[in-house]
Amino acid sequence: MRWNLRLAAANRGIWKASELQRSLAERGLVISAGKMSGLWSGQPASIKLDDLDVICAVLGCQVGELLLPEPEKVAQPGDAESAPAAAVSGAAPVVPRRRDGRSLPPA
Residue 49 Ramachandran class (φ > 0 left, ψ -120 to 50 alpha, else beta): alpha
pLDDT recorded at residue 24: 97
Topology of domain 2-68, per CATH? 434 Repressor (Amino-terminal Domain) (1.10.260)
Contact in structure between 104 and 98 (CB atoms under 8 Å):
yes
Question: What is the residue extent of each domain of the chain?
Answer: 2-68
| Highest mean pLDDT out of 25-39, 66-80, 83-97 | 25-39
Q: pLDDT tens, 16-33? A: 999 999 999 999 999 999
Question: Does residue 84 carry a pLDDT above 60?
Answer: no
Give percent above pLDDT 70 in the chain.
85
102 CB neighbour count, 10 Å cutoff:
8
Residues 6+ apart with CB under 8 A from 56: 62, 63, 66
